[in-house]
Amino acid sequence: DSGVTQTPKHLITATGQRVTLRCSPRSGDLSVYWYQQSLDQGLQFLIQYYNGEERAKGNILERFSAQQFPDLHSELNLSSLELGDSALYFCASSVSAYSYEQYFGPGTRLTVT
Amino acid sequence: LAKTTQPISMDSYEGQEVNITCSHNNIATNDYITWYQQFPSQGPRFIIQGYKTKVTNEVASLFIPADRKSSTLSLPRVSLSDTAVYYCLVGVNTNAGKSTFGDGTTLTVKP
């Protein structure tokens, strides 16, 4: 158990819908990262927040957005969902803003039908 | 971010030592080398990180030659439960927010 929690574990929704994925980092970690893992794309970095502020951005679509709240939990919002958005979404956390030592949550499996 | 090259797959048997090598010819002076393990449908797990020479923890050892153009993750006495994908990441910590995992090496441990 990494100490990072993600909810929900599974999510099934229809195209065009909007969903919110939630992540709680390890106690004491200030940095949260979001990743998408699909069969054909591998593990792709989406976005990073550190202590409430956006720190780094990867290949995140404009339909996706995220935020980190004062209690340090983070939410990833996915809108206008397409079939291709079906994937595992992982959240990771680290103590600092600059660390490859990241601790991953169990992921949320999103299925868009 | 340095480009890395790893074998796509490796096979081993229980009880053997496994060495997975990662090539990173364009590694920069401030880059660190980090390895992760991932089981199917689970999040990656941090294994080990190093800058030069040798690093060892309770799970693995990481060997980095003087030129740092490659690194080797060594797993002692593997078991069936070590069957997983292993990723090598190379980069400076200030770019950690843009971690690139690549395709990794699928290690299959056989009985």
Q: Which run of H or E residues covers position B104?
A: none
Q: Which burial class, exposed, middle or buried, applies to B61 when counting CB atoms under 10 A from its CB (0-12, 13-18, 19+)?
A: middle
Residues B84, A59, A106, A84: is their CA dihedral positive or negative? negative
Q: Is B111 part of the contact surface with chain A (CB cutoff 8 Å)?
A: no
Q: Is the Cβ–Cβ distance between A105 and A4 less than 8 Å?
A: yes
**The two structure tokens encoding residue B44:** 């990656």
Q: How far is B95 from chain A (nearest CA, A)?
A: 7
Q: Is the Cβ–Cβ distance between A23 and A69 less than 8 Å?
A: no
Nearest to B42 among A96, A99, A106 (CB): A106
Q: Which residues contact A70 (CB under 8 A, 6 or more apart)?
A: A52
Q: Which burial class, exposed, middle or buried, applies to A29 when counting CB atoms under 10 A from its CB (0-12, 13-18, 19+)?
A: buried
Q: How far is A112 from chain B (nearest CA, A)?
A: 17
Q: What distance in Å separates the CA atoms of residue A48 and residue A35, rounded to the nearest whole number?
A: 9
Interface A–B counts its CB contacts (< 8 A) at 67
Q: Is the Cβ–Cβ distance between B6 and B90 less than 8 Å?
A: no
- pLDDT tens for chain A, residues 1 to 113: 889 999 999 999 999 999 999 999 999 999 999 999 988 778 889 999 999 999 989 889 999 999 999 999 999 999 999 999 999 999 999 998 878 889 999 999 999 99
Under an 8 A CB cutoff, do A99 and B96 touch?
A: yes
pLDDT at B103: 83
Query: Which regions in chain B score pLDDT beneath 50?
Result: none
Edge-to-edge strands of the sheet including B45-50? B9-13, B105-110, B84-91, B32-38, B45-50
Mapped onto helix, strand or coil, the DSSP state of residue B56 is strand
